[in-house]
Amino acid sequence: MPVYLDHAASSVLRSEVRDEFLAHLEVVGNPSSIHGYGQSARQLVEEAREQIAKAVDCNRSEVILTSGGTESDNLAVKGIFWQRNGEDAARRVIISAATEHHAVIDPLEWLEKSQGAEVIWLPVSNEGLVELDALARVLAERANEVALITLMWANNETGVITDIHEVTALADKYRIPVHSDAVAAFGHLPISFATSGLAAMTITGHKIGSPIGVGALIVSRNTKLVEVAHGGGQERGLRSGTLSPALAKSFALAAELCVAEAEAMAAKHAKFAGAILKSLSAIKDIEVTLSRGGAAGLPNILHFSFAGCSGDSLLFLLDSAGVSVSTGSACRAGVAEPSHVLLAMGRTEAEASGCLRVSFGHSTTEAEVQAFIDALPAAYASAKKAGLSAK
């Protein structure tokens, strides 16, 4: 039985969503065309927008459909920075944290290198929590220079949750827009954009059981941003490009389903995490990164570190035993790197290379979890024999 416990990387396509995708795949017409075919295609996209708006509790006009999380993050941080910096050249500071996903970190570094921005990276505790006292201090000193704040709702490697409401309350004192990457959080935590105080929020479909290649940036009605892609002026002029009714409807159904199931799924995932944690306690040298009950964590992500072997060798050994998990860290151009998230949490390179992420999704079964529990001790023993040489 193949075991897939890497839903935080990309989840499994839901069967209802596959049916929805196929049902609309042959829809004829460009949703921007004014003839009947175009109107029917447009109607599907607008239905999808309404469904997505309900799922994240926002107004339908606030849903900007994109190709996924990376595009949404780029649009948010570049678009808000250009808008605010264009209105007031003194506003060139962006506040973020080094535990963000590369879809945020890399555009920020690019803005710094080529667009005159200055990024302030907030300190992160060794449990992975962004230090919000430091945010308050930076704002007190430099609020007039800040263009935006971008902090993820929950971390995709460790599962650590940021108190976004506290972030927006701090920012609101100075009327500074906040963007949050909610890719890892959506479907696993209750999310209301309307009450979040956010200016913009990123979500993507393939983490919640929709096909890859569709997502959204939720942009509040009073947030202005400069577009990144120029063209046909679709999506309030913020994201040009012809929309796919099939992808939009698939994403919308996945969003509806994951919100409807979130509570029951969180309870199921907490049970799975409990079973794995219990089994880990019997293995010497394994340390659970996130002390559950301490730092708040996503129910579907379990992250742990261990001594004496690299996460990659453990990952390969588990994979050859039919169990797919992840180290959670980036693998760029086929070269494994130590996790930038763990480095930001104060771990050494060796420690940041010795970790594993298990993540559950809508399709995860008890049998899969048990197969992981059964395979881990032998894989860990073999990986330890190989030492840290897998890099």
Q: Which is nearer to ligand PLP, 160 or 176 (CB)?
A: 160
**Residue 331 catalytic?**
yes
Q: Which is nearer to ligand PLP, 104 or 273 (CB)?
A: 104
Tokens 């606030």, residue?
A: 62
Q: Which is nearer to ligand PLP, 246 or 371 (CB)?
A: 246
Tokens 């070269």, residue?
A: 335
List, in order, residues 6 or more apart from 281 with CB less than 8 Å away: none
List, in order, residues 6 or more apart from 95 with CB less than 8 Å away: 119, 120, 122, 135, 138, 139, 146, 148, 149, 150, 151
Is 238 within 8 Å of 227 (Cβ atoms)?
yes
DSSP 286-330: EEESS-TTSS-B-TTEEEEEESSS-HHHHHHHHHHTTEE-B--S-
Select which of 58, 258, 309, 331 is catalytic.
Answer: 331
Least distance from C-beta 173 to ligand PLP, angstroms?
27
Distance CA 299, CA 316 (A): 25
Q: Which is nearer to ligand PLP, 103 or 371 (CB)?
A: 103
Q: Which is nearer to ligand PLP, 73 or 227 (CB)?
A: 73
Least distance from C-beta 95 to ligand PLP, angstroms?
18
List, in order, residues 6 or more apart from 181 with CB less than 8 Å away: 69, 73, 100, 101, 103, 104, 150, 152, 153, 201, 202
Is 379 within 8 Å of 390 (Cβ atoms)?
no
Distance CA 93, CA 165 (A): 21
Least distance from C-beta 68 to ligand PLP, angstroms?
3
Q: Which residues bind ligand PLP (CB under 6 A)?
A: 68-70, 73, 101, 103, 152, 156, 181, 183-184, 204, 206, 215
Residue nearest to ligand PLP (CB): 69
- According to DSSP, the residues that pair with 324 across neighbouring strands are 4
Q: Active-site residues: which are they?
A: 331
